[in-house]
């Protein structure tokens, strides 16, 4: 059975480009984005890690740390950083986990149990399932899971949008509609009666008996 939303994110210790970490301790009382890639020194992954480096400040604004992982050793991550800077213009300053024994990849259901016990000799195709994103809350619960195919680079602006939605709905009894962006109208959840909706949000629009929209609450 794979990991699901609201499961506790498995804890682990691992070597990273910034030293050994214990994952839950590293997260602390904020949010975290754990994102994996199939293999170092490959084209799509190079653009992804550079993009994340450029967006690190946006994640910090949301009290979210970012951390990358692949089954390559830490030493390989360090060598790859120069290529990422050349290709994208951004320095990777966030930690990268070296998961050479595949333990974290298996723990997070990124690779099957029979994938072996070492990254030696593995090709990007062997690691095809390792292009996942996990958003984890301060309670160490998984809030979002995304897995992409080998040839499709991820849209990390969408990850930021999802975090905005998750953080907003954690504070207020609202949901966000399709393609929602910061500042746009939100949906009042069914748990809020019409009377309570008026008290909480003031005016609102009833589109259907089960679909009520209102202005985005302030933070």
Average pLDDT of adjacent 10-residue blocks, the chain of 219 residues: 91 98 98 96 97 98 97 96 98 97 94 88 86 96 94 95 96 96 96 95 95 91
Summarize pLDDT for 110-162 with one digit per residue, the tens. 988 888 989 888 888 888 878 899 999 999 999 999 999 989 999 999 999 99
Quick one: three-class SS letters along the chain?
A: CCCCCCCECCCCEEEECCEEEEHHHHHCCCEEEEEECCCCCCHHHHHHHHHHHHHHHHHHHCCEEEEEEECCCHHHHHHHHHHHHHHHCCCCCCCEEECCCCHHHHHCCCCCHHHCCCCCCCCCHHHCCCCEEEEECCCCEEEEEEECCCCCCCCHHHHHHHHHHHHHHHHCCEECCCCCCCCCCEEECCCCCHHHHHHHHCCCEEEECCEEEECCCCC
- Burial (CB < 10 A; 0-12, 13-18, 19+), residue 134, is buried
Judge whether 57 and 78 are in contact, CB under 8 Å.
no
Find tokens 């994938």 and name the residue: 115
The answer to whether 16 and 67 are in contact (CB under 8 A) is yes
The reply to whether 45 belongs to the active site is: yes
Q: What is the pLDDT of residues 57-68, one digit of tens each?
A: 999 999 999 999
Residue 141 pLDDT: 98
The pTM score is 0.93
Identify the pLDDT of residue 113. 84
Of 27, 32, 45, 168, catalytic? 45
Q: Which domains, from first to last, does the chain contain? A: 13-154 (3.40.30.10), 172-214 (3.30.1020.10)
In b/e form, how buried is each residue of 155-189, taking b as 16+ CB within 10 angstroms? ebeebbbbbbbbbbeeebbbebeeebeeeeebbbe
Q: Give the CA distances from residue 185 to residues 143, 201, 213, in Å, rounded to whole numbers and listed in that order.
A: 22, 11, 6
pLDDT the model gives residue 219: 63
Nearest to 136 by CA among 7, 2, 1: 7
């Amino acid at each position: 059975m794979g990991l699901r939303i609201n499961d506790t994110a498995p804890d682990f210790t691992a070597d990273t480009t910034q030293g050994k970490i214990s994952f839950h301790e590293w997260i602390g009382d904020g949010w975290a984005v754990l994102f994996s890639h199939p293999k170092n020194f490959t084209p799509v992954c190079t653009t992804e890690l550079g993009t994340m480096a450029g967006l690190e400040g946006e994640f910090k604004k949301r009290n979210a740390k970012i951390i990358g992982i692949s089954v390559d050793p830490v030493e390989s991550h360090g060598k790859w950083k120069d290529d990422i800077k050349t290709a994208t213009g951004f320095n990777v300053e966030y930690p990268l986990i070296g998961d050479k024994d595949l333990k974290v990849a298996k723990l997070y259901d990124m690779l099957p149990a029979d994938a072996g016990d070492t990254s030696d000799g593995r090709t990007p195709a062997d690691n095809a399932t390792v292009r996942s994103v996990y958003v984890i809350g301060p309670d160490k619960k998984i809030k979002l899971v995304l897995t992409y195919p080998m040839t499709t680079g991820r849209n990390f602006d969408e990850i930021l949008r999802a975090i905005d939605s998750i953080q907003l709905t954690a504070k207020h009894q609202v949901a966000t509609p399709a393609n929602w962006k910061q500042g746009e109208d939100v949906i009042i959840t069914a748990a809020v009666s019409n009377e309570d909706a008026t008290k909480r949000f003031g005016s609102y629009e009833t589109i259907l008996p089960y679909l009520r929209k209102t202005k985005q609450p302030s933070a």
